[in-house]
Amino acid sequence: MHNAPTLYVLNAAAITKPNAIQNIAADLSGYEIDIAVVTETHLKKKHDDHLFVIDSYTLHRRDRAGRRGGAVAVYASHRLQATVWNCPNDTSDYELLWIRVQTGSRDEIERVSSLTALGVVINDQMTAADHVSSLLASCSRLLYALRVLRGHGIPAASMNDIFRSTVIVKLLYCAPAWSRFCSAKDRTRLDAFLRRCRRLGYCGSDISTVAELFDEADETLFHCILTNNNHVLQSYLPDRSRLQYNLTPTAATVKNLLSRRRY
């Protein structure tokens, strides 16, 4: 995946000053800037582009008309495909310069073995193995903080509360989305981590297994979907069936009961 372009914003207070362009060029080269937005360029029609060109960059400018000062410019790296976008409602009252930037070629799609979406690692095998590995590494780092707190004499009950509010919360983050992709090996690794935490005294002996924690997370999510009419997933549930029972005896029902008693 392409990295986001680096952005440089500068109020130049006139790039027409001596050595102003040389200073900007040094900054762009030194910081490896992709896009430089320069305000207060003070450029006018009388200033030719070739006087303000920076090597390996394309200059786009919009000068202020009829007044002193102002004006904006954008320097876009040659590595990018940058073109000026003309706004349909554009007026000369505003000094706006819109640039459309495309990173890389549209036909260029980088293939990766995994990606992270909203904190969940998704691999090309559609398994949770990579996410579990990342999760265990992150939770193991949290144990150092718990060890420090215990060294300062924190009570066991408070330690258990902190464990649940940090480690367990991290383990269950988005669990309904990825827990069903866990293999038996992944669940075994997670259970082994919880047993280790229990053995080290970071949590109580009543801590649930990973399977039970996942089921509780699923039940909590489903309850939220059922009880919240504005939940984004409620529209995917089937319509609720409304059954109405009328237990008031009718004349036909009474007549039928009397006829049965005669026989």
Per-residue pLDDT of the chain (263 residues; tens, 9 = 90+): 456 788 889 888 889 888 889 989 988 888 888 999 999 899 888 888 888 989 889 999 998 877 778 889 999 998 888 888 887 777 777 778 888 887 665 555 567 788 888 888 888 888 888 899 989 888 888 888 888 888 888 888 888 888 898 888 989 998 998 988 898 999 999 999 999 888 888 888 888 888 999 999 999 888 888 888 888 777 777 777 777 766 666 666 666 666 655 55
Q: E strands of 131-205, at which residues?
A: none
What pLDDT sits at residue 188? 92
What pLDDT sits at residue 73? 92
Q: Which CATH code, of 3.60.10.10, 1.10.3720.10, 1.10.3210.10, 3.50.50.60, is assigned to 7-103?
A: 3.60.10.10
**Start-to-end CA span in the chain (Å):** 85
Tokens of 30: 């030194």
What pLDDT sits at residue 60? 92
Backbone dihedral region for residue 97 (phi beyond 0: left; psi -120 to 50: alpha; all else: beta)? beta
Q: Are strands 35-39 and 7-11 parallel, antiparallel or unpaired?
A: parallel
* Cα separation, 146 vs 167, whole angstroms: 10
Instruction: Give me the amino acid identity at 134.
Output: S
pTM score over 0.75: no
Which of 15, 59, 8 shows the shortest CA–CA distance to 40? 15
What pLDDT sits at residue 247? 66
What pLDDT sits at residue 257? 63
In this structure, the dihedral spanned by the alpha carbons of residues 210, 214, 219 and 224, taken in order and rounded to 10 degrees, is 130
The answer to whether 73 touches 82, Cβ cutoff 8 Å, is no
- Name the residue ranges covered by the structural domains of the chain: 7-103, 114-236
